[in-house]
Structure 1
Amino acid sequence: MKITLSSLLLTLFIIITTTFSHLSATVDVIYDSAGNKLLNGIPYYILPLLRGTGGGLTLSSNINNNNTCPLALTQEPFELSYGVPFIITPIVFDEDFIRESYPVSIKADIVADPCQGSKIWKVATGDVVGVTLGGVLNTPESCFQVVEDDMMPGLRSYQIQHCPFKCGLNSSTSFSCYNIGVVSGAGGKGFLAPTDVIFPVVFANSFGGTSVVQSL
């Protein structure tokens, strides 16, 4: 039987679709703090799991090098401050829900940005490494994933990780992901950066009614 290019492409499409459907059925969905599935395109506050460890994630001037731009990801010092909301978007597969270990983009849901640049997270490199805005979709420096951690049995929480090898064109031979957590900056202010320390977080819907911080 003669195999045409169109039949070969059709077969390849069926294989890819079937494989993706199987993976989607087996990979766990991420849930918000109210027990609802984390939705693509919906803004959420990113809050620490443990009470008394500060508030939600927010934006500040770049405290690493004293520059105003790009804005850096920091943590509110008071636990009742939820910070600003963020939108998590799948990069490779366009689904309604956010799934564990899938590469995602994280974007600040803000109207006014004094830097007037991209609102996508990226891991800045150079003299000081930290998480800032100014990222580009589907690039190694803006590639993240969310995985469930087991910090407190019975309480569902997650760890955000930077996974550069999962997005774009990456010349690195490393297939590692790195925890994103809060480290101490100038004046004791906490800012986001790759770290060995686990920073368990929960996601609270910013539309109201479901913004609940889990407590121990």
Structure 2
Amino acid sequence: MTMKVLLIFVLSLLFSPPLISAAAAASPAVLDVKGKPLIVGSNYFVLPVIRGGGGGLYPANTKPNTFGCPLDIIQEASEVQKGIPVVFSPVNATAAVPLSTDLNVRFYTPTICARRMGWKMDGLDESSKQYFVKTGGAEGNPGPQTLSSWFKIEKAGSDYKFVFCPTVCNVCKVVCKDVGIYVQKNGARFLVLSEIPFKVMFEKTF
């Protein structure tokens, strides 16, 4: 090998993209209760880490004498009730659900609102001063029009939490907050944006 060829080879090594570093920078997968990665397209129950404060999540119409969609997202009153499973769809095609990445969350249920079971952040409710998380969210098509439909799963100590902090629009201004639980006077437990995160774990349905 001539000195000229050797020099070109060395320079190519110095300025080549660090493939190993890029792979290491990829977000780790979210794990279920058995320590296995969440699989895109599979169904999972979203369950509370803290026992005694309710069970899983499900969509429900909580307003009297009203019908149709969107629906509120409610936590089961009993911890033995697992609610309705959800499906995760990350913004980028991956086999496993990555941590800290924009994704859509959708209830897997054959209800009258089955085509509108994606989660979304609703506008401010003036009576309660809460931002409720409801169904009716869009799936896919990341951008300004679907901004309210993108959530993330983040670590909360050794547990997980949902966060509303979409990064699918570079020019949009968003208020980043954890997803938590708002308890009404009648005891109903609603999913809302909150300063206190709802710490969760994920259980595969089958």
User: 2:98 maps to which residue?
Assistant: 99
User: 1:23 maps to which residue?
Assistant: 25
Q: Is the 8 A contact 2:30 2:98 kept in 1?
A: yes
Identity %: 26
Q: Distance in 1 between matches of 2:51 and 2:191?
A: 18
Q: TM-score, normalised by structure 2?
A: 0.78
The worse-fitting range, judged by mean Cα deviation, of 141-150 and 130-139 is 130-139
Q: How far apart are residue 18 of structure 1 and its match?
A: 8.8
Counterpart check, 1:146 vs 2:115: no
Q: Deviations over 1:163-211 (max 9, x none)?
A: 13x1247532x4x52100110136220010000012110000011xxxx
> Structure 1 unaligned runs (5+)?
1-13, 151-155, 208-216
User: 1:9 maps to which residue?
Assistant: none
Q: TM-score, normalised by structure 1?
A: 0.75
Q: How far apart are residue 116 of structure 1 and its match?
A: 5.4
**What CA RMSD, in Å, does the superposition of the two structures yield over aligned residues?**
2.4
- Mark the CA change 1:22 to 1:125 in structure 2 (over 3 Å): closer, same or farther: same
Q: Is the 8 A contact 2:162 2:197 kept in 1?
A: no
- Mark the CA change 1:104 to 1:110 in structure 2 (over 3 Å): closer, same or farther: same
Q: Specify the structure having the higher radius of gyration (Cα).
A: 2
- Mark the CA change 1:76 to 1:168 in structure 2 (over 3 Å): closer, same or farther: same
Q: Is the 8 A contact 2:124 2:132 kept in 1?
A: no
User: 2:168 maps to which residue?
Assistant: 167
What secondary structure is seen at the aligned counterpart in 2 of 1:160?
strand
Q: Distance in 1 between matches of 2:24 and 2:33?
A: 27
Q: Is the 8 A contact 1:180 1:193 kept in 2?
A: yes
Q: Is the 8 A contact 1:140 1:163 kept in 2?
A: no
